[in-house]
Amino acid sequence: MKEKIRVRFAPSPTGYLHIGGVRTALYNYLYARKMGGEFLLRIEDTDRERSTQESLDQILEAMEWLGLEWDGELTYQSQRLDLYRTLAEELVSRGKAYYCDCTKEELDIRKKELESRGVFVGYDGRCRERGLKKGDASHMVIRLKVDNGEDLSYTDLIRGEINFDSKEIDDFILIRSDGFPTYNFAVVVDDHAMGITHVLRGDDHIINTPKQIAIYRALGYETPGFGHFSMILGSDKSRLSKRHGATSVSEYRHNGYLPSALLNYLAKLGWGHGDTELFTKEELIRAFSLEGVNKAPAVFSPEKLLWVNQEHIKMLSYDMIAPYLKPFLEKKGIDPASRSREWFSHALETLRGRVKTLEEMAEKLLYYFFPPEEWAEKDVAKAMKKSSPELVEDYAAALEKVDDFSLQHLEEHMRAYCEERDLNMGSLAQPLRLAVTGSTVSPGIHDVLALLGKNETLARVRAFLSRL
């Protein structure tokens, strides 16, 4: 029977979830869903000084907002400390690891001495054969005995053959003097306990892989497959940071980006699938493969991300967008429950292609809810000809007699009105647009009137004419 694929995302709650972390989580998620496997979430919270509840809450909230749902229960490293210590002590009893009481000062002195002789700088194995026991000193660590000359090479699922020699690795620490595990030891213990079959992560972890392979072998565990994604760079080809426009997931959320757009952009940032640029999450799952992941670093582009967001606003239905738009409407003082689903769906259609973010969409929807309070002189001068006030007033009188304020009927009504008077439709539409929206730029005038409704349209026209 074929082994079920299990992958994991393992953030540390020492800060907010950023672009690089999201892409790692996304690739793991897509691979698991594509292969019918499981996507697990582990919180690596053994850094007591830097881990915070606020960061953890932000990470979990971001994962849920993105729709990267995980399988099973959350795993916390901080709840497994006894397991790490027990396993490390077992390695000591089996001669695979040992206690070390070397102080930092002693290690620094010996390191400088080795450097002066041009020798590989690492732990010199001073305590390897001393046979120290637990409690022999107040400050002790547990170190792994790394077999000198052991081949720790492996075949990376993305990069192919990667060679490592154990001569380049010293007897590294498994358990620190404070009783907490080191990163590499905890990761191996956890990945085995969780049944992880594929460890997919950023290429900054390649250097950790030989140490982890050595730990797997010492514990007698089967080694999973390893795959490392290339890093994401800024436009200047340096490591991605906030100055390149990359920020936390929560900030993208608050700035009006759709989660589907963020996932779409990040999936393509290091993975190729022909010339197709736009994907829904479901389409990404169907198309994703590790073979398509690029080895070369990807360059982050805020402009491209904004374009993808605009395209998702254009292609997604109102029902898909509505839950994410709601907080932006409420922030503007708009009650989403004050209009029907059909009304909002129509309003969204008028703005497709005109807005790039949900923040911008909520801003553009304002004139559907709040009448203009003032009209800029330059707009009045641009839209209003000498005959315009009289024309607008006459058309308002004609609208008084209209019962059907549907889009189609309004189009037919205005066309007939202008043809009867031999008018260019723009000569009526522009001053009317200014009257009801306060601007010379808006979606189609018939859409605007239909969305405002008869009473609101006429009230705005009268208020405008009274101000002229």
Neighbours of 66 (CB within 10 A): 22
Q: Which residues pair with 99 in a beta bridge?
A: 142
In one letter, which amino acid is 364?
A: K
Q: So what's the pLDDT on residue 167?
A: 79
Would you say 359 and 324 are in contact if contact means Cβ atoms under 8 Å apart? Answer: no
User: Which residues, including other chains, have CB under 8 Å from residue 222's CB and lie 6 or more apart?
Assistant: 216
Q: So what's the pLDDT on residue 121?
A: 63
Q: So what's the pLDDT on residue 108?
A: 80
Q: So what's the pLDDT on residue 292?
A: 93
Neighbours of 392 (CB within 10 A): 21
> What pTM value is reported for the model?
0.90
Output the tens digit of pLDDT for each of the chain's 468 residues.
Answer: 567 999 999 999 998 899 999 999 999 999 999 999 999 999 999 887 888 999 999 999 999 999 999 999 999 999 999 999 999 999 999 999 999 999 888 888 777 777 777 666 678 788 999 989 988 888 899 999 998 878 899 999 999 999 988 777 889 999 999 999 999 999 999 999 999 999 999 999 999 999 999 999 999 999 999 999 999 988 887 777 767 767 789 999 999 999 999 999 999 999 988 889 999 999 999 999 999 999 999 999 999 999 999 999 999 999 999 999 999 999 999 999 999 999 999 999 999 999 999 999 999 999 999 999 888 889 888 988 989 999 999 999 999 999 999 999 999 999 999 999 999 999 999 999 999 999 999 999 999 999 999 999 999 999 999 987
> Catalytic amino acids?
242
Can you tell me the distance from the alpha carbon of 70 to that of 53, in angstroms, rounded to the nearest whole number?
20
Rg (CA), the chain: 32
**Alpha-carbon dihedral of residues 113, 119, 121, 124, nearest 10 degrees?**
-80
Closest CA to 226 of 296, 151, 157: 157
Q: Which residues pair with 232 in a beta bridge?
A: 298
Can you tell me the distance from the alpha carbon of 382 to that of 376, in angstroms, rounded to the nearest whole number?
10
